[in-house]
Structure formats: structure tokens, C-alpha cells
Structure 1
Amino acid sequence: MALRTKTALLVGLFFLLHTWGVKAQVKVEMEDRVEVTLGTAAEIPCLYTTDVGFGGLIIEWFYLDPAGKRHRIYFQDPTMRIEETNSQFTGRIKVDVTPSQGSGQVLLRVLETRLGDELDFICLVKSLTDGNDQGKTQLRVFEKPAHPIIKSVDEDIWFNNEEPVKIGSCEAKNGYPRPSITWYKDNTPLSNVPNEVSVLSKETTESSGLFSVESELSLKVVKEDQGSEFYCEVNYQIIGGFGMLESEKKKIRVRYPSDEVNLWVKSPKRDIKEGDTVEFECLGNGNPQPLFTFRNREMVELNAINNVLELRNVSRLDSGLYECFTTDIETFEEVVGNTTLFVNYLEPADVSPEETLTLSQGADLNQSCNALSSLKTHTVWMKNGVKVATGNILSLRDVVYDMAGTYECMVTVPQLVGMETSAAFQLIVEGSPEISEPQSTSLEQAVESTVVLTCRARGNPTPTITWRSAGSLVDSQSNVTEDGVLSWVNVKVSSDLNVSCNASNTNGNVETLYSIKATGGSGVIIAVLIICLLLLAILGSVLYFLYKKGKICGRSGKQDLTKEKTSRDNIVVEMKSDNTEEAVLLAVNGDKTSGDQ
């Protein structure tokens, strides 16, 4: 009853205003475009202003079909709200009205957007009088396509100069609106060029209404395309702009014959010397690499493995020109590469004038050491592990025995480590004997002792050592050593004497004299001891005799006895003599009384 009354009052008010000729002012503003991702909700706002209250407005929503025909989907007046049935939006729209003083907003929400929702939507706002206005918004729906899939040809591609050949295909599925595909080679975009580049695209509309695009690239292949990277780029529209997806990158294998061949020494990466193992490698500018044949300067074919030729333990005879070649399958001509091998050498060292030299003391020596080499050499002379000179000439002046021995010359090539040779010679020095002076030739030895005397001499020829004492030969022993001859004698000392050591050979002789001074011996000491014992015995006899005669201990002269009473065990006797005698107190154990004797 209340609703009917309210409706009647509004209708009456509408007619009254219309009768009075009052026309309300209405203004509508809407966005040109609303964008949304497929499946999400779209919100389309409609802003209005009016000089009548909200209770006097009628609101309607329409959409335009592709033919431009208007279809209402929503109606609202002060008394009711109606969502049209049998519409593609039935059950998927909501309308919220937010009124304000003189203005307001009508918000249309389209739930779970579909591709068919991409239409123009019209918002109509009118007053109960003739005042009205409307606005229009275009709804755009987007769907990002799947990541592009690129497929390249699996087999090798023979280059040719006639027409483009297929390189690969690229596919982007389920995008909206329709995505596009661009091809790239090494980051450079490709486009159709007659007889050089061909890009063919195909579009498919899926049952869902989404678009799938496939593109095929064909290219006139050249040698430089070997190893080039190809990929495709998918461009698509998104809310507020554009998006881009790149496929993985693919390399194609281009086959073409070699028209140029290079040969070089792969190892060692330095100057080559005799004894090295040398590896040659041959490489053509074609793809794939052909099988090469190797040969030397004498045109003898050599065995190689995987286009690598190995020469072991090379010598200078291996120096020369080496070639590798293949045959052009189109012209049947040889394509040849070559390089020159040079093997450095160092011949064995040689000393001159002789390997064994005999010189007299005081002579001079100039000995040379030479080793023929392809490179600059350095020579060092060694003796007993010690460097004595540098250069290929060894000069010795005024030679002495200490200079005799083995000399080694060592020849090296500084430019190549391990390239070396050596030779040696023996130097023999001849001359008269030399005696090594002992620490002392003046000795003091006890009589009857034995002293060992040594004598060391050197010379060439080896000297003979003899010993003499008082003009007579002395028996000796000798040993020959590396340094010469060592001789020794045992000499018994009975008195002062001189002993001589004489060393002689065919070149002369030399002598050393030992002077020995005899000192007291053990026999004299024994004699002195015996004499001392005899003297002690005689002295004891004299003292005993004097004691018996009373010449000692107060047994002669006038005596005064003073007897005193003593104990049984202690008797003290005082004996006095004249001024020339001493007084002696005798303590005697016993009962007897002493009297004159």
C-alpha cells in the first residue's frame, strides 16, 4: 500500500513538473576505455551531475553489439531496479550507485569477463523531466599468450646461392588480441626481402576465441650463417601497453666446402729442437672439416689422426716444407695448406787439441771447446763441480800440480731450455817432486823412545821416497795416493840425531831434514830413585846408632830426679841436663821407678 502511494506521488510529481515546463539539468562523464585481463572483473564508472535530487533520476545501462544495435542490460528509477534477462550479461553484472549532493557515481561491474564482453557500454542518466545525458566506455579484454616455441631444422643445411631454405618455425598460442611474431638473427630483426628472406605467418582462432600464431622463416644461407643464433619474439597487448616474450635461441649448421686450408705447428709452442715431438694441425674454412692428407717436402704421404700429424723424436733432417690438402667436391681441385718446419740442433761438444794433455810445470795451456749449433751457445768450464772459466777457450798460465785434473766444458743454448752438451779433457802436470812441509821439523823426544816420522811428496812421474839417518838408509813404508806418495819411518831415540826424507823422480829430487833432540829417559829416573832409597837407609842407621849411644833423647849428662807420689798408672819423670841439652818429659806407664842408667 505504501509502495503504491509512493509511486503515485512520484508520477504525480513528474506530471506536475512537466506541466509547469521545468526541465532538469543532467551531465554524464565516462572513461573512453576500461581494460581488463580475461576472467577478472571489469569496473566501468559513470559519473553524473544534476540539479535535482537523486530521487528524481532514472539510470539505464546498455551495450552495443558489433552491428551497432543498442541492448539494455539494466534499468533503475526511484521505485525499482531491473536486470534484463536473456542477456549475455545476465547474472554477471552488479550496479552500485553512490549519490552525493548534486552529483554521484554509477558503477557497473562485469564479473568473470569473457572475450565477447569486449563491447561499448552506455550509461544513460535522465531526470523525471526531459533533462538527460549519456556516456560511453569501451571495454577491452586481454590475454597473454603462452611462451613461444621455436623449432629449427635438425639436419645440416647446404649453402647455395639460388633460393631461401627453411630455417625454422615459431608458434605462440592462446593470446588475445592477436599477437605478432618477429624473427631475429644475432639480435638483428628480419623482414621479408625477395629471394633472400621469407617470413610466412599463419593465424588460428581457437575454440575459446583466443588466437594462436605460427611463423615460418626461410633464408638464403651463406657461409657466415654458420653458428648464427636465430630466435623469435612475440609481441602482444596488455593493460596499459604492450608485452614481449622471446623464444630460446637456436643455431643452425651450415655445410659448405673449404676453399682455404691452413697448416701450423700445434705443439710445442716454442722453437723446436732435436728430440722433440711435433704436432701439426690442419684446418679448412669449410664446415664440417674435411679429411686432410699430409705430406712432406719429398711428397711422401704421412699418417695422421683426426687431421693431426705427429712426428716423434725429430732431427734436423725433418726440417722442411709440410703440406696438408683436401679435394674440392665441386671443382675436384686440391685445396692446399703448408708450413715450414725448422728443427734446431746442437752437435756434441769437442775439445782440442787433445782430450789428454801432459804439460810441464810452468807451461801455459789454451784448450778450446766447440759445439756446432743452429742457435747462439754459451760455454762454461767446470772442475770438480766448480766453475773456473766461461767462453769456449780455457786459458791456464804457469801450470802447477794443483791445476792438474779433469776439466769439463758445458755448452748450452740459452734460448732453448734443455738443449745442452758437454765434453771433458784430462790435464797432467809433470815436474820435479814437491814435499808437503810438516808442521815442525825440530822435535824433542825422550831417550829410548820411538818416534814416527812422515813425509808426503807429489810429482810426475810419481816420486820415490828414501829415509837416511847418520848417512845410512832407514827402513820405511810407503803408500801411493791421489795426492802423491805418503811414507813413514819408526825412529828409536838414543841420542840427538838428524833424519832426512828424500823424494826423487826423473825430473829431480827434494829433501826435508828432521832434527831430533834427545832428553832424559826412564832409566835415569830409576837410578835416581835407587840412590835416594840408599841414602835414606844410611840416614836411618846413623840415627839409630846415635840413639843407642845416648846422643839423643837425654841419655847422657847430669840428671836430677824429683820423685813425686803418683798414681799407680801415671809416673812423671823430669830429666834435666846442662844448658846444651834439651829437657824432655817422659810419660811412662808402669810401677817401676826410674833411676840412673
Structure 2
Amino acid sequence: PHSAALLMSCFGFYGLETVIGLYGETLEIPCNNGAIKAEDVLITKWKYDKGEGLTGDLLVKRNNLNVSISATDEYKGRVSMALNSSLLLSAAKLSDQRTFTCMVVSVADITEYPVNVVIYKTPAGLEISDRVEELEIGKPTKLGTCVAQDANPAANITWLKNNKPLVADGKGISIQTSVLVDPITGLSTTSSTLEYSAEKEDADAQFACSTQPTVGAELVSSSMTFTITYSTENIVLQVFAQDPLVEGDNVTLKCEADGNPPPTSFNFHLKGEMVKVENGDTYTITNASRDTTGEYKCSLIDNPALEASEHITVSYLDINLSLSGNIVKNASESLDLTVHTEASAEAKVSWTKDNVKLDKQPKFTKLTYSDSGHYECKVTMGLLTRKASFDLMVEGAPVITQLSKQRSEDGQHKVLICQAEGSPKPAVTWSINGTSESPFINGKITHKITVVPTANLTVTCSVANEFGTATRAINVSSCKYKVVVWSTHLSKAEGHFEPSIYNTYTPKTRTIEYKVKAF
């Protein structure tokens, strides 16, 4: 019927039963715990220890009569009795921590049951005050003060880093704790100040404080993080450029340092020249040349001894060919050809003539017409390539290198072949008429005509250009051969062919006939 509750189980304490109550709530103090049957009880009386050997009456209950309250002072209006004779004490406070005695008068005896009362209070809150914004590495700094207000007993505060307890070690961790007791309420306020020497790893660390009350769940403050500041210990110089870096390109140097806050100004050492860059960490070299190659450094303005360096190599590849453009020379002359290369590393040289790869650099000790063509020199060094070329034309009077004859594939004609060299392209003429063809390649011309001579004769081939003329002759005999026409007749009865062979072109007419068996 009563709203009061026994908050914690009772236990012996110096021979006394002890009851724990919560601050501000109603406390139920048991009487005899059923040791005497209710029907045997004549009078139940509650009193309390006022100290110095004095007692104070609270209330009394006689059999079959209502409870008579006699409490005065601080207990007036705060006490009542439960049906089981327990004392109900409302709005518990720290001054209630004393001995309350239940006196029971029964038919057989008078018995007293003293009960010791302890009042607990969870802290009103757990907050961190006087927080700092940043920590310097290696420098002991007060992070803040954790406060647990109005508790009983006084709260024990533990500092946490990433949810793990911090323990004072007299070096990087120092914790100072103090307790202040309110003179009116008697409640305790605990303050704990953490002094901490930060490390780089603490940049993202979360700090908090906690306490475990005697009654109730653990209390944890809100977490806090700090900016960790430290001086620059390492510096790095980075080079940003095309690969490969060639003449005409731009090169950007970037200086990075690990300090926090990071440096914002640097010195750039450019092959003996120092350039100060403020509010920036880059320097750009424009239009790099081979002279740009060398060692470059950057350093802190306020600490020049802390520096970083990088070597920059500008790749270059030059080719100088002694010949260029259109070169015109006479046959049998010599021609000097040299190639000179300048490169930042080993280079490879290759040659082509009319887009056909040559095994080696050409040499022209005695020019021939076949030396005419387009020459290209290619120099490569890694991804770099340079080319140079020239066109060579070898000129001179034509020379017939060969005059020959042969029978055509059908055997009915004669093919005369006149091969010559010369440049410009020589004109070819024959002493007889015939169908002709004449390809001209690398100063060589091959002229063919097809004829049907009716008698033995001498044929001449003449070649000529602006430098001269050459002529050669060849004897050609008449075409004495038969043109055979096959007249085919198949006799089904005989089962064989009967071809007739007869002469269609011959000085004397005669006919030859024979049979060819079918196959």
C-alpha cells in the first residue's frame, strides 16, 4: 500500500542491519523482519540516534490504535509507518545517515532492532570544463577538468583515451583530483584535472572522463579531440614534369613538410640561386633546357638546415646530318656523308632508303645510279626520336648494261630486252617497230619489245638523255616455226580421236597426219 521500497538488500554492519537509500527518495527501514508475529505485538515505537547519547522519538503504534507521530525538527512531516511496521522516511538526505531503532513490546518481552541507514547519490552530471583547443607534442598541457557534481559518496573519476583508462605515470600523464563538500547538503563535488603530453598518434584520439557510482550505471562525459601541433621534422621535395622531361617543358618543384600546422613558406635553391616563396609551396621552372639539369633543394625559411633535394635531368637529343634537301651528283663521283648526334644518354642510329631499312650507314665512294633515292636517318633515345633526311639523284650519260633476246611464252614472237642505266631517265629507241614496256627504277631502265621477224636481221637499241647516247646491236633470226591448228573429230564408233595437223605458215607446204588414241 505504500510507495516506498527497500532499495538494497540488508547486510550486517557492526552487528547492525544496514539499509541503503537514494538521495531525495522515500526510504523504507524494516522492523524485526517478522521475528515477532504481528498478533503478539502490543506496541511498536521508532526512534533515532541524535548523537552524544541522545535519542529522538519519531512515532508509536499501539495495538488496535492509529499511529501517533511525535517527530519534530527535521523529521516532522517526513515519517510514517507501513503495515509491516517499517518506518517510511521521505525525501532522504545525507543527515539521515544514522541509526534508527524499532522497539517492539510483545506479550513476552521488549526487543529493539537497530538499523543503520546509508544514503547514496549519483552525480548530478559529468562534464569537462576549461578545455584547450590544441596540444603541442612533448609539452605537458592541461587538457581540461572533469567535474562530477553533488554525489555521495564522492565520485571517483577516471580519464579515458579511446575508451581506455589513463593512469598517472609522473611523465606524460598527470592527474590532480580534489573534492569539495557542500556545507548545506553534504554532497561532494569531485574535480579531476588531466595534464597530458601529446604524441603525433593523438591527432585523432578521443578523450573523455567517467565514473562508476555506488548505485546505478557508469557515467561517461562527452568526448573531445584536440589539434596536435608539432614542429617540422621531415621535408620532401617533389618534382612534377613530363616523362621524359625534354627541352622546352616546364618543371614544378613542390616542397612538403610534416609539421602541424604545416609551413606555408619555403626557400627553393636553384643551382646556386635561392628563391623565397611565401604563402606557397611550389616553384615552376619554365622552358627547361639542358642547362637546367642539376640538383635542386628546398628548405624551411625559419630552419634552413632542414632541407630536401632532388636531381633533375633534362633529356635532349640533337641530330646533325651533313646532307639535306635534294642532292644531285654525277655517276662515279664520291659523296661524303656524316651524322653527328648529341644526347643526354646513349642513342641508337638507324637508316632507311625509300622506307626500306638499311643494315648500316650508307657510304658513297663511287656513286652509281642505283644509289639514287630518299635517305632517312633516325636517332632514338628512350621515348625521344629525331629524324633527318635527304634525297640523292645520281645523273650521267646512259650506259647499256645488257641487250638480250628470248622467245615469248607462246613461242610465236621474239622478245628483245635492252637494259640501261642513266639519269635523268633515258629515252629508248629501237631500229624496228614492236610493242614495248619500260619500267624505270633507281636509275635503271629495262625496255622490252615484242617482234615477229620475217627474216634474219640486226636490231639496234639506243638510249639517250641530256648527258649522252649509247647504242648496241643484236642479231635476230626469222621465226621459222609452225602454227598448229587442231581439228578434232571424235568417232563414237571407233572410240578415239582423229586429229588433223597441217601447216599454216611455212616456206614449203606439207601436211603431217597421225592419230592420237583417246584417253
Provide the TM-score with structure 2 as the length reference.
Answer: 0.59
CA contact (8 A) 2:119 2:152 kept: no
CA contact (8 A) 2:19 2:116 kept: yes
Q: 1: CA distance between counterparts of 2:76 and 2:346?
A: 99
After superposition, the C-alpha distances for 1:237-264 in whole angstroms (9 at most, x for unaligned) are 1427x724144223256576x6x67452
CA contact (8 A) 1:93 1:109 kept: yes
CA contact (8 A) 2:228 2:260 kept: no
Larger % of helix: which? 1
Residue type matched to 1:409 in 2? K
- By how many angstroms is 1:343 displaced? 0.9
Q: Does 1:466 find its partner at 2:428?
A: yes
Residue type matched to 1:250 in 2? T
- Matched with 1:178 is 154
Q: 2: CA distance between counterparts of 1:291 and 1:457?
A: 81
- Matched with 1:148 is 127
Q: Does 1:311 find its partner at 2:294?
A: no
Aligned with 2:210 (options 202, 227, 234):
234
Residue type matched to 1:346 in 2? Y
Name whichever of 350-359 and 265-274 sits farther off.
350-359
Q: Using a 3 Å threshold, how does the CA distance of structure 1 residues 196 and 442 change in structure 2: closer, same or farther?
A: closer
CA contact (8 A) 1:83 1:90 kept: no
- Matched with 1:264 is 237
Q: Secondary structure at the match of 2:213?
A: strand
Q: 2: CA distance between counterparts of 1:94 and 1:510?
A: 155
Q: Using a 3 Å threshold, how does the CA distance of structure 1 residues 139 and 307 change in structure 2: closer, same or farther?
A: same
Residue type matched to 1:464 in 2? P
- Matched with 1:203 is 180
What percent of counterpart residues are identical?
A: 15
After superposition, the C-alpha distances for 1:16-70 in whole angstroms (9 at most, x for unaligned) are xxxxxxxxxxxxx9435544555555555556465x7531125444454577854
Q: Using a 3 Å threshold, how does the CA distance of structure 1 residues 196 and 180 change in structure 2: closer, same or farther?
A: closer
Q: Using a 3 Å threshold, how does the CA distance of structure 1 residues 341 and 304 change in structure 2: closer, same or farther?
A: farther
- Matched with 2:311 is 341
RMSD between aligned residues: 6.2
Q: Secondary structure at the match of 1:148?
A: strand
CA contact (8 A) 2:324 2:389 kept: no
- Matched with 1:13 is none
Q: 1: CA distance between counterparts of 2:48 and 2:400?
A: 138
Residue type matched to 2:106 in 1? S
- Matched with 1:251 is 226
Residue type matched to 2:257 in 1? L
Q: Using a 3 Å threshold, how does the CA distance of structure 1 residues 140 and 300 change in structure 2: closer, same or farther?
A: closer
- By how many angstroms is 1:177 displaced? 3.7
CA contact (8 A) 1:465 1:487 kept: no
Q: 2: CA distance between counterparts of 1:124 and 1:238?
A: 31
CA contact (8 A) 2:178 2:190 kept: yes
Aligned with 1:31 (options 11, 14, 23):
11
Q: 2: CA distance between counterparts of 1:83 and 1:376?
A: 117
Q: Using a 3 Å threshold, how does the CA distance of structure 1 residues 45 and 315 change in structure 2: closer, same or farther?
A: farther
CA contact (8 A) 1:94 1:109 kept: yes
CA contact (8 A) 2:45 2:103 kept: yes
Q: 2: CA distance between counterparts of 1:225 and 1:305?
A: 27
Q: Using a 3 Å threshold, how does the CA distance of structure 1 residues 56 and 402 change in structure 2: closer, same or farther?
A: farther
Aligned with 2:117 (options 135, 138, 151):
138
Q: Using a 3 Å threshold, how does the CA distance of structure 1 residues 166 and 137 change in structure 2: closer, same or farther?
A: closer
Q: Using a 3 Å threshold, how does the CA distance of structure 1 residues 337 and 477 change in structure 2: closer, same or farther?
A: same
Q: 2: CA distance between counterparts of 1:79 and 1:136?
A: 26
- Matched with 1:297 is 271
CA contact (8 A) 2:374 2:389 kept: no
Q: 1: CA distance between counterparts of 2:38 and 2:300?
A: 95
Q: 2: CA distance between counterparts of 1:374 and 1:386?
A: 28
CA contact (8 A) 1:46 1:107 kept: yes
Alignment of 1:77-92 (within 5 A): 77-82=62-67, 84=69, 86=71, 88=75, 90=77
After superposition, the C-alpha distances for 1:426-457 in whole angstroms (9 at most, x for unaligned) are 6779997899xxxx955799xxxxxxx9x999
CA contact (8 A) 2:237 2:298 kept: no
Q: Using a 3 Å threshold, how does the CA distance of structure 1 residues 376 and 444 change in structure 2: closer, same or farther?
A: closer
Q: 1: CA distance between counterparts of 2:300 and 2:236?
A: 12
- By how many angstroms is 1:360 displaced? 12
- Matched with 1:586 is none
After superposition, the C-alpha distances for 1:373-415 in whole angstroms (9 at most, x for unaligned) are 44455666667878777xxx5689xx996995444535132xx
Q: Secondary structure at the match of 2:75?
A: coil
After superposition, the C-alpha distances for 1:273-303 in whole angstroms (9 at most, x for unaligned) are 5535231315375866363332333334365
Q: Which runs of 5+ in 2 are unaligned?
A: 1-8, 13-17, 332-336, 484-519
- Matched with 1:95 is 82
Alignment of 1:53-132 (within 5 A): 53-57=37-41, 58-64=43-49, 70-82=55-67, 84=69, 86=71, 88=75, 90=77, 95-97=82-84, 113=92, 119-130=98-109, 132=111
- Say which one has the larger Rg: 1
Alignment of 1:419-434 (within 5 A): 419-424=384-389
Q: 2: CA distance between counterparts of 1:201 and 1:273?
A: 71
CA contact (8 A) 2:399 2:463 kept: yes
- Matched with 2:516 is none
CA contact (8 A) 2:324 2:388 kept: no
CA contact (8 A) 1:185 1:228 kept: no
- By how many angstroms is 1:313 displaced? 3.8
Q: Which runs of 5+ in 1 are unaligned?
A: 1-28, 98-105, 362-366, 446-452, 520-597
CA contact (8 A) 1:379 1:412 kept: no
- Matched with 1:277 is 251
Provide the TM-score with structure 1 as the length reference.
Answer: 0.53
Q: Secondary structure at the match of 2:115?
A: strand
Residue type matched to 1:31 in 2? F
CA contact (8 A) 1:316 1:345 kept: yes
CA contact (8 A) 2:127 2:221 kept: yes
Residue type matched to 1:243 in 2? E
- By how many angstroms is 1:153 displaced? 3.4
Alignment of 1:433-472 (within 5 A): 441=408, 461-466=423-428, 468=430, 471-472=431-432
- Matched with 2:5 is none
Q: 2: CA distance between counterparts of 1:135 and 1:400?
A: 137
Q: Using a 3 Å threshold, how does the CA distance of structure 1 residues 54 and 411 change in structure 2: closer, same or farther?
A: same
Residue type matched to 1:411 in 2? T
Q: 2: CA distance between counterparts of 1:339 and 1:253?
A: 28
Q: 2: CA distance between counterparts of 1:360 and 1:68?
A: 145
- By how many angstroms is 1:233 displaced? 1.4
- Matched with 1:103 is none
- By how many angstroms is 1:235 displaced? 1.8
Aligned with 2:380 (options 392, 407, 411):
411
- Matched with 1:575 is none
Residue type matched to 1:466 in 2? V
After superposition, the C-alpha distances for 1:131-188 in whole angstroms (9 at most, x for unaligned) are 535252534333244242344335x788999xx7655444444544433445567867
